[in-house]
Amino acid sequence: MSPRKAYESELVELDNLVVAMAKKTREAIELAVTSFEKLDVGMVKRVEELDEELYLLNNDIEKRCLEVIALQSPVAKDLRTIGTYLKVITDFDRIGRYARDIAEVTARTYNMAHFKPLISIPSMAEMAEHMVDLSVKAFLERDTGPTKEVFELEDKVDSRYDEIFREV
């Protein structure tokens, strides 16, 4: 395989790994919030496993990106793409840690009833999942259009978080 083909193949593989990481991130959010809603500690272990998988994927993708930079000296568009990989995987890893934190709250409080109906939290999770989906779409299509909606959703999630924090 020619060096150029190997390089292009590595970029495609990085795309695939980032998409796989996005799917695991989305699953972690969904499971963590569902476990909290239902106070189901059975799901906590899977969220912890997903968090570990996200951590390992983050390290693998980061290593591969740095190897591509060191060995291929990408320029312009490809370098920006690799920079985006590095930013996105860091966010996905952080979201996985947040999901783990939610699951840990479930593990500590599963024998207590919720003191208030959970309305905002599931809707925040849905928005976060949609943000992950939009980010991946923008990333794969190399289109910044969906990022405007991501920023709007982020503002809504932040507002809901502030509301919940004030109520608690």
User: Looking at residue 43, what DSSP letter applies?
Assistant: G
Return the pLDDT at 149: 86
Average pLDDT over residues 161-167: 73
Task: Give the CATH number of the domain where residue 102 resides.
Answer: 1.20.58.220
Query: In the prediction, which pLDDT does 118 show?
Result: 66
On whether the pTM is more than 0.75, the answer is yes
Which pLDDT value is given to residue 116?
Answer: 62
How large is the average pLDDT for residues 3-18?
A: 91
Total domains present in the chain: 1
Asked if 47 and 101 touch (Cβ cutoff 8 Å), the reply is: no
Number of C-alpha atoms within 13 angstroms, CB side, residue 145?
5
| Residue span of the structural domain in which 97 resides | 3-167
Quote the pLDDT of residue 146: 78
- Per-residue pLDDT of 125-144, as tens digits, reads 888 888 888 888 888 888 77
Residue 161 three-state SS: helix
